[in-house]
A and B are shown apart, each in its own frame.
Chain A
Amino acid sequence: MTENRELELYLHIPFCVRKCLYCDFLSAPASPEVRRRYMDALIRETAQRAEDCRGRRVTSVFLGGGTPSVVDTDGLEKLLETIGERYALSPDAELTVEVNPGTVDGAKLARLRRAGVNRLSIGLQSADDRTLAALGRIHTWQQFLDAYYEARQAGFTNINVDVMSALPGQSLSEYLDTLHRVLALKPAPEHISAYSLILEEGTPLWQMAQEGKLKLPNEDTDRLMYRETKRLLQSAGYTRYEISNYAKEGYACRHNCGYWTRRDYLGLGIGAASLLDNVRFRNGSDLERYLENPSGCREEVQVLSPQEQMEEFMFLGLRMTEGVSEAEFVRLFGRGLEEVYGKVIEKNIREGLLQRITGRDGREDGEERLALTELGMDLSNHVMAQFLLS
């Protein structure tokens, strides 16, 4: 076994103040009592799993949800403490916590910073209070501003802001206003995630759309929002390093890049997914069971065949603008990229969806890579589906 193999930790906090109308993540409001019991269970699971991860260097930790910031700071501190004690945490590890404006204040943020958190991901979504209300968000633009500057004050120098386009009732100018306001923050965020709204089946927003009660931007507007995101953020000095993610130099999210490059990660908490040594598994999503026996909830264990590993390598790797390395493919699978995917690659290059590049991050290093073109990024699902082998 290789010592020093990298590992990422994901910890799921399935609680929020109120469910947003578009959200289909495993998350719901809960009483302080349930939240406390859950944190106890999560800390127990974190401690118990440490044994499996001996000899691994943890390079990133991500507390996601839900809204991790709704749980007591004591609980979060204790969780981070447990990680620090039980895992080989790399000194330069990225430690991210997702926060929702309206659930944090200066004191809480300062405590998180002191506990080792060095990156915050703040869910803004829109700068328009009416749109925020229509999405069921619990905060206003002003509350976001407060949270943002409190975070800066608390010493956070790596902040992501989430924004969303194609929202109900959203006009192009309203969306651009959101982007402009985010870019005008002083200092501006180091990282911006810009998603377009996806109506997930079963969510209230989806239901409203089904009933024809939702006024969504038309295709042309949606399109413009998408294009303008790229144009504006790039001109403001951000690099698009993945389909929906933009970062200033050196601030790409290490944790998320791990998912796309298939680094091993351990998911802790209910519903959390893991990838360890090419085995994917996840915890079940039954809260009661988890509270009783947090380490006994693993299910859906799937041993990835070499073919499945290749598929993932491609459809995950292609999400990133740097694409996938041909040499890396050969190294991992003992076969050439051309040999396995030659036809698909040629077709997509011909159609202007894929390109061969050398180097990464705009730096020429002679490494042969395959990446999506701008058009390919727009049609990424269409391209990626073709890389499934069965």
Chain B
Amino acid sequence: MADVDQSKIRNFCIVAHIDHGKSTLADRIIEQTGLLTSREMQAQVLDNMELERERGITIKAQAVRTVYKAKNGEEYIFNLIDTPGHVDFNYEVSRSLAACDGAILVVDAAQGIEAQTLANVYLALDHDLDVFPVINKIDLPSADPQRVIEEIEDVIGIEAQDAPLISAKNGIGIEEVLEQIVTKIPAPKGNPRNPLQALIFDCIYDSYKGVIIFCRVMEGTVRKGTVIRMMATGAREEVVEVGYFGAGQFIPCDELSAGMVGYITASIKNVKDTAVGDTVTDAENPCAEPLPGYKKVLSMVYCGMYPADGAKYPDLRDALEKLQLNDASLNYEPETSVALGFGFRCGFLGLLHLEIIQERLEREYNLDLVTTAPGVVYKVYKTDGTVVELTNPSNLPDPSTIERMEEPIVSAEIMVTSEYIGSIMELCQERRGRYLGMEYIEGTRALLRYELPLNEIIYDFFDALKSRSRGYASFDYDIKGYEEAKLVKLDILINREEVDALSFIVHADSAYERGRKMCEKLKDEIPRHLFEIPIQAAVGGKIIARETVKAMRKDVLAKCYGGDITRKKKLLEKQKEGKKRMRQIGSVEIPQKAFMSVLKLDDRK
């Protein structure tokens, strides 16, 4: 590996709308480049986390290096860098793209261009990548490759006439894709003798090796013994090992030089020291400038996470610590809730990220969690001139000290077939959307542009979008900034006691509606007690809605089923099990899932 001919390297990624076949194509490329036999192939080599496979999406960017013997008789090294497929991970996507020289655009032959296709392809073009399209799923009965080719040329404006027509699933046309990777994606540039400049596009934590940095070397060379420095975080360590990515394993090599993609280990203990997007340089012979594009990742969505069993607090802390080793975009700090006890306020890139972390905590760490309703970060401008970034609704300062509040706004692009434009516009209207414009694509589909408050889309917007368009709408968004809004804190009182963990921030105009629904929902969720329980919603101390959970008066299992005591016991066990999943607040027991009820208030579908 010492002498690598730069002209024989191709660093690329695959961009696509979700479900258009990105991972399947990646599998075929890996398979047909001969690095692995078919038998060694797992169904989807790149997605190696259990959770990812179940959800059919790729969360963490990863890379694989394969060797392709082209028709011209030369061997080429392909570094395929996988990118996450969800808007929550847009920044990670952008860093992965920056590590590439070109991209394959996969478009579904039946569905054509979708919102994420556009968003991802523009992102690739923004990073000066050479993009060539492939038309996938040509074996589908509804495939219309010619229409899709025209659509790509019209809408995106890239040449598509000689796009390979493939079926990644059935292995049709893959050879042509491999050839086009050689001919259409440029070889990397950069001088191995220049000062080291390498881009971190991902990192993971390994309990033996410490942090493993995934990087693309832009300039210079890094090898074992090089003392490296992260230019943004300032962390400094001696390199222990460099190498490249086999399929699912790390293969050490002597050095990584300009144009190469690989990994570095340097006994770094904290993933926070190796921020994605940061530049690695030689501490003794540093480069003049870091690579452009580094951003500190900001959490957009926050929620409280509490152990269902208070005694598990240290376990939750340890689990979060471990997860954070692998996921620098997760952040958390301890907080206390009157209702839920000791827990953490956790910040996420978006709701999907939140759900993934929640599931991992529950599955991998076997924790039973109570999660409060997620919210966005509000800016509270106080009369004394200070600004509070509010991540927990219960910390809202006294309203008399608040001058104004601002909420995050996103610019959203929604692609939808013409017949559903009306219902989607209605949805955006309900969610306080600001209409920016609409373009027709191919006569039958339109691209709607809206600005929407983030807090209106984090819960169930995506589901509502899908159900109101029968699955035909696709959606992508970018954070645009903050805007002033008339916001209030809605409090929930159960048995006349305010439950801090149930408070949330809501637009003043929808406070009544949300309060009413919340009370109705909680009425259904809270079991009957020996006494009557009022459930009230209040804004600024004023009650705006009320429901009552009647007292339990009869809970009898009349029949004893003859001698079938086992069955009787099972019924009691079920009842007791239900009790275990409750939180005691005052004298009321509240089921844990009630704390998420605010998420399920949309009944307008």
Contacts and interface: CB of A to CB of B under 8 A. Distances in A.
B73 interface: no
B569 A380 contact: no
Given A226-B554, A380-B557, A386 B576 contact: yes
A351 interface: yes
Contacts, number: 90
Interface hub of B552, B562, B571, B575 (most chain A Cβ within 10 A) = B562
Contact of A267 (B550, B552, B557, B563): B563
Interface residues of B, number: 24
A267 B564 CA distance: 10
Nearest to B563: A273
B563 A198 contact: no
29 contacts: A10-B563, A62-B562, A195-B559, A196-B556, A219-B550, A223-B553, A223-B554, A259-B560, A259-B565, A267-B563, A273-B562, A273-B565, A273-B566, A282-B566, A311-B569, A312-B565, A315-B569, A315-B572, A353-B530, A378-B553, A379-B554, A380-B555, A381-B556, A381-B575, A384-B572, A385-B572, A388-B569, A388-B572, A388-B573
A125 to B, nearest CB: 13
Interface of A: 10, 62, 64, 195-196, 198, 219, 222-223, 226, 243-244, 256, 259-260, 265, 267, 272-275, 280, 282, 300, 302, 311-312, 315-316, 319, 351, 353, 377-382, 384-386, 388
Nearest to A62: B562
A280 B530 contact: no
A256 B566 contact: no
Interface in B444-476: none
B577 to A, nearest CB: 9
Contacts of A64: 562
A274 B556 contact: no
Majority SS at the chain B contact face: loop
Contacts of A388: 569, 572-573, 576
A275 B560 contact: no
Given A223-B553, A300-B566, A385 B576 contact: yes
A378 B575 CA distance: 16
Contacts of A377: 556
Contacts of A273: 562-566
Nearest to A312: B565
B579 interface: yes
B558 interface: yes
B573 A381 contact: no
A272 B563 contact: yes
A274 B565 contact: no
Contacts of B552: 379, 382
Contacts of B579: 385
Given A312-B569, A381-B572, A319 B555 contact: no
Contact of B555 (A272, A312, A378): A378
A348 to B, nearest CB: 10
Task: Please indicate which of the listed interface residues A196, A302, A378, A384 has the most CB atoms of chain B within 10 Å of its own CB.
Answer: A384
A258 to B, nearest CB: 9
B575 A243 contact: no
Q: Which of B559, B566, B572 has the largest number of chain A CB atoms within 10 A?
A: B572
A275 B569 contact: no
A379 B576 contact: no
A349 B530 CA distance: 13
A6 to B, nearest CB: 15
Given A219-B553, A315-B568, A382-B552, 5 more contacts: A64-B562, A273-B566, A379-B530, A385-B575, A388-B573
Given A223-B553, A315-B569, A195 B558 contact: yes
Of A64, A223, A265, A280, chain B has the most CB atoms within 10 Å of the CB of A280
B274 to A, nearest CB: 46
A274 B563 contact: yes
B556 A243 contact: yes
A353 B530 CA distance: 10
A53 to B, nearest CB: 15
Nearest to B554: A378
A312 B579 CA distance: 19
A379 B555 contact: yes
A302 B560 contact: no
Given A259-B560, A315-B572, A388-B573, A382 B555 contact: yes
Contacts of B565: 259, 273, 275, 280, 312, 316
Closest CB pairs A-B (n = 9): A195-B558, A385-B575, A385-B576, A273-B563, A381-B555, A385-B572, A379-B555, A382-B555, A244-B558
Nearest to A265: B563
A315 B569 CA distance: 8
Given A385-B572, A385-B576, A259 B562 contact: yes
B558 A243 contact: yes
A275 B576 CA distance: 24
Most buried by A among B558, B564, B569, B579: B558
Contacts of A10: 562-563
A272 B45 CA distance: 53
B486 to A, nearest CB: 41
Interface in B522-581: 530, 550, 552-560, 562-566, 568-569, 571-573, 575-576, 579
